[in-house]
A and B are shown apart, each in its own frame.
Chain A
Amino acid sequence: MANEALKQEIQSALRNTTLSRTLGKFCETYPEKRLKSYAGVNFEETRDSIREVKGYAAEHIDEMIEKFTKNCTARGGHVFHATSTEEAMEYVRNLVREKGVKTIVKSKSMASEELHMNKVLGDDGVLVQETDLGEFIIALEGNTPVHMVMPALHLNKEQVADLFTDYTKEKNEPIIAEEVKTARKVMREKFTHADMGVSGANVAVAETGTVFTMTNEGNGRMVGTLPKIHLYVFGIEKFVNSLSDARYIFKALPRNGTGQRLTTYLSLYTGATEVCLDKDTDEKGPKEFYCVILDDPGRREILADEDFREVYDCIRCGACLDVCPAFALLGGHVYGSKVYTGGIGTILSHFLVSEERAEQIQNICLQCGRCKEVCGGGLHIPEMIMKLRERSTEKHQNPTYKFALDAVSDRKLFHSMLRIASIAQPAFMKPGQPMMRHLPMFLSGLSEGRSLPKIAQVPFRDIFPTIPQNVENPKGKIAIFTGCLLDFVYVDTATAIIKDLNSIGYVVDMPMGQSCCGAPATYMGDRKNATVTAKLNVDAMSAENYDYIVSACPTCTHQLREYQEFLKDDPEYYEKAKALGEKAYDFCKLFHMLGGLSDEGDGKEMNITYHDSCHLKRSMGVYEEQRELLTHTKGVHLTEMKESDVCCGFGGTYSIKFPEVATPILAKKIEHIKETGADTVAVDCPGCMMQISGGLDARGLDVDVKHTAVIIAEKRGLM
């Protein structure tokens, strides 16, 4: 699919006001609701247990299939092991034909959607009825789910009423409670007359041959209780070994999915349960019970791939969608797959649906890491999306990006480009606006909805030697890694770091051979250039000569710590990279650690709010230290903003590719800042600083954005 088509879908999603209202509201209230539901249950422990039990099943997958088949069969079930979606569908089709099935009621089954079951059977003349309310609504609309757990979020009650009116040929009022009643009435008929029920499994237990289905509406129970034939379709990733193993999944699934401690119904079927065979004679007997295990090549590919094996641990709770800033804005349709959406959807689509589509949508991810924090299976979603990017970049890289990234990894060329830009920039600026349009790479294409900072006339590397450092009896020596933004844009922040560290007895050095940290290349999936840069900086920083390496950009710090991963196949560099990674700290963490906490301050009133950088909070777990440093400073008052740790939309090179997504994310951040009434936004990341100050500036708001290092230096009279 062309990028343009994706862009259009993004625009159309952004225009859907119901989607943005409902999804926006849901995503805003979700984190608290989720957290509340975990009262008394340790999420991390539960998640680790899930990883353990799913990991075991993944490693013993053939054994799981065999055991389940044996045990389910022993209890009167029939199990079919399908090695492709086609084979699975063929089996279902034959079964339906053989049994003379005319009508089917279905409760949610994602695997059956992979088979396109409704379409295939529909073409054969079988009536397949989705019974989950949301699924029913989108089936009437002829659409695909917008969310894994809440498929019809994009429609409002008026639209639902119209769909119901069309369907029932009776006027339906746009009143939700009434609409729910209509669904009940319509569906009752279907349930009581259906020849066959089709269910999806949340979990399948090998040792007992049991399948689990969780629902709130009760449709799952109807599907499993009324028809005489009952068919389960599920993928191999649903297996766990024992009944006890299954418990962990149902501890996390409802809490993560809807913030419930348990859904209304949790049903376990072990073999052929009793059904009523004839309602007039009241004759009873065991139902015909079938299980189709979907074991297609895409699933095997996931299991065999070291980088993606953990996808198996996904419990399909949808939590990753609910916290994703891009998803909150766009909903699931832009992810293109009929089945899977959001960050995890990108990965699943790659293996199970369409590689081509996945290649486009990988780029929607901001790499903010929020999904990883809540994931029920502990999946490293952003890292896996990066891997996908890497793989697709290996295949075909956009020539413009390649040129730019090649340039960035050549320090001399890149730095001279930046120097030229600092001289040439007035030519590119709109009159009266400090806006830059044509900076190389990560500074280009970022103009919508915000202004950009000027490139400094004198880069920090030229200023550094002129800064006096009078430290008596220094406690140690620290090397500063500035990264591009501190070196060429925010030189004051870099200066503040020197002053702050000097004030607590440390001398700072700036190794001049350093260059861009390599994050732009990494985030664009260009591993080659990222590795070149890693080597260059490992050499340049000579970590062995310093006690610590300080950076004031969490993306850089994170990158410095990751170098060892890029260089793991090069023993000589690996050791050096490891040493560098171990000494690398973000400013606020290091300053706090080295005794920088103090009550000093000029006492002048300063009302601040704080924005957490994604990398600092989630990759490095630093969110208390800077708050402590700031609130101890005399005169500083902190008012927390709403969703302080939600991405500001900068996301490295993100805004180049998706300004249409980044802009509204930024707009929301600005709103939250405004609500606090703060005069200053404190940040610890120059990328966030650029993004947020640009957004404030473009709206003419008189709010400063300052790095924690600068606030400390100013308030303590150090600069």
Chain B
Amino acid sequence: MATEHSRTAARLMVSPAVILLFLWMIVPLAMTVYFSFLRYNLLNPGMESWAGFSNYTYFLKQAAFWDALWNTLTLVVGVLIITVVGGIALALLLDQPFFGQGIVRVMVIAPFFVMPTVSALVWKNMFMNPVNGMFAHIAKFFGLQPFDFLSHAPLASIIVIVAWSWLPFATLILLTALQSLDREQMEAAEMDGANWINRFIYLTLPHLTRSITVVILIQTIFLLSVFAEILVTTNGGPGTASTNLPYLVYAQSLLNFDVGGGSAGGIIAVILANIVAIFLMRMIGKNLEA
């Protein structure tokens, strides 16, 4: 696409798709912004009136907002730490030649294909249930009191559930990166007297930074909007102990029927997500440059 002519043609050709995508994004966003300035409750349909910024001030002033904000960040950071550290460890293991490598690799990827609702239900009922769950059985076997994970450590439990489903993604990306690590570099380092810890710190980890960055950026986008796992396990509780921003918006608009307040919450969540994105790109985005 070198000539002026071909560039113009190219612009013309892609414009329908670009316009469609733009509308796709802008219409719901504009409507949400519009609703967020209305007093709009589903219990009183047809009574909408201009509310100014009151929805925003109300949303920001409730105690639940700060809890939700804190929970959202804890969830994101917690899952990121587990998946990145666990992903590196698993990738290092899977990179070793061993019998049945192919099957084990497929099995490691499997959790990624399980729907969030399903995986959360499995964890809730089969592992973490204080009466019938496997952890309860294990605890009883050792003569310990079963721990009710979802009531006493709800956020930590959700972090574990979400991390479990994202670990394969991180592992896979990091494994591909590991496999592209030059074998001769490793051998050179070995001859230079570097033990495996030094080889990991000075060769493997720098080689992986770009992939780790990709994992962090992609996962952050999805982890900011974790919802299904919370809905089917704790419903955001007890209290607000496991309520994150998406769940708070849901509770506001569909449990309290307050569309205006929910929309304001949604816009606030969008703004916060963008702040996080900008912050992340500033911090680690340079790793993506060549």
Same assembly = no
> Using a CB–CB distance below 8 Å, which chain B residues touch chain A?
none
